[in-house]
Amino acid sequence: MAQAEQRDLIGADSRDMLEGVLRIADLTAGDVMIAAPRMDMVQIDAPFDDLLHQVIDIAHSRFPVYEGDRENILGILLAKDLLKLQRAPELNIRALLRPAVFVPESKGLIDLLRDFRSNRNHLAIVIDEFGRVAGLVTIEDVLEEIVGEIEDEFDTDEESGEIFGLAHRIYRVAGSTSVERVNEAFAVELAIRDGDEVFDTIGGLIAHDMGHVPVRGEVHHLGGLKFEVMHTRGGAVKWFKVSPQDAGA
């Protein structure tokens, strides 16, 4: 493939994709899954308003639904199906659940992609050798191994905006925003260095200051600002809700 690219028979993008196809032949669901502790799930008995706000804040299209223990997954809820509950409150949310698909950690990505295409599922629950929930994998996770990261409305790049106003003195800030940009926007002086460690992004700085990878809903105060985790992906914060500590938000 390298020779084909050098001879202008294929482009660089085509070579990357072909290499991705070959690469997934050696990968399994366990290699690309979102680990169980980072799975965004909903509780079957949650009040409708709480459920709706959770779905809006996280902004996934599909959610595993559990009852009692997170290991007890009842099915998959499509965000769009909540509209049916809003129009017909007498419906039981259990009737809206789609069957959950379970796959072992060892399942190859090529076989998994084939299954996704044939059964029209976009999400599978990954289980370990003991039958416990290890994580989840989506069709997007598999495709990204071939074509690279697929951007959505919660992804940003360096050329696009990283700080957006939500309400009076409340902002949505991408985790990839530079610390210098946050300092400039909020007129604060967050340190970008702690000993020998230097932090390029606000997400990295917050994770370091908290001492762990933040999860959705966690709140952290730093430098006079309140950071609330709105959305995470792949173990990193995609979006924070940021406000001055004296804003009472």
Residue 43: CATH number of its domain: 3.10.580.10
- What's the CATH code of the domain at 185? 3.30.465.10
Token reading at 234: 């792949």
Range with the poorest average pLDDT among 18-27, 34-43, 153-162: 153-162
Statement: residue 224 has pLDDT above 60: yes
Based on the fold, state whether residues 50 and 125 are members of the same structural domain.
yes
- Residues 128, 225 within the same domain: no
Whole-angstrom Cα distance, residue 7 to residue 29?
35
Point out the domain boundary residue: 90, 120, 147.
Answer: 147
State both tokens at 41: 């799930």
Residues 131, 197, single domain; the answer is no
State pTM to two decimals: 0.59
Residue-level pLDDT at 195: 77
Domain membership of residue 81 (yes or no) is: yes
Backbone angles phi, psi at 180, to 5 degrees: -60, -40
Based on the structure, what is the number of domains in the chain?
2
Of residues 226 and 23, more confidence is placed in: 226
Residue 204: give the domain boundaries: 163-247
Q: In this structure, is residue 155 part of a structural domain?
A: no
Residue 146 — very low, low, confident or very high, per pLDDT cuts 50/70/90?
confident
158 domain-assigned: no
Same domain flag for 104 and 31: yes
Q: Does 153 reside within a domain?
A: no
DSSP collapsed to 3 states, 63-77:
EEEEECEEEEEEEEE
The answer to whether residues 19 and 91 belong to one domain is yes
Distance between alpha carbon 225 and the CA centroid of its chain, in Å?
24
pLDDT of residue 48: 83
- pLDDT > 70 fraction of the chain, expressed in percent and rounded: 91
In a domain, 9, yes or no: yes
Are 38 and 140 in the same domain? yes
**Do residues 235 and 140 share a domain?**
no
Does residue 46 sit in the same domain as residue 136? yes
Q: Specify the 3-state DSSP secondary structure of 36.
A: helix
| CA dist., res. 214 & res. 81, Å (int) | 29
99 and 220 housed in the same domain: no
Same domain, 129 and 216: no
- Residue 87 placed within a domain: yes
pLDDT tens digit sequence for 32-87: 898 898 888 999 998 888 888 888 777 788 999 999 999 999 999 998 888 887 77
32, 106: one domain: yes
Domain boundary (117, 147, 177) is at 147
Tokens of 145: 């191994």
Domain end, chosen from 87, 117, 147, is at 147
Task: Classify residue 156: in a domain, yes or no.
Answer: no
User: Are residues 14 and 82 part of one domain?
Assistant: yes
Task: Judge whether residue 106 has pLDDT over 90.
Answer: yes
The verdict on residue 154 lying in a domain is: no
Q: If pLDDT is split at 50, 70 and 90, which confidence band does 234 have?
A: low
pLDDT tier for residue 157 given thresholds of 50, 70 and 90: very low
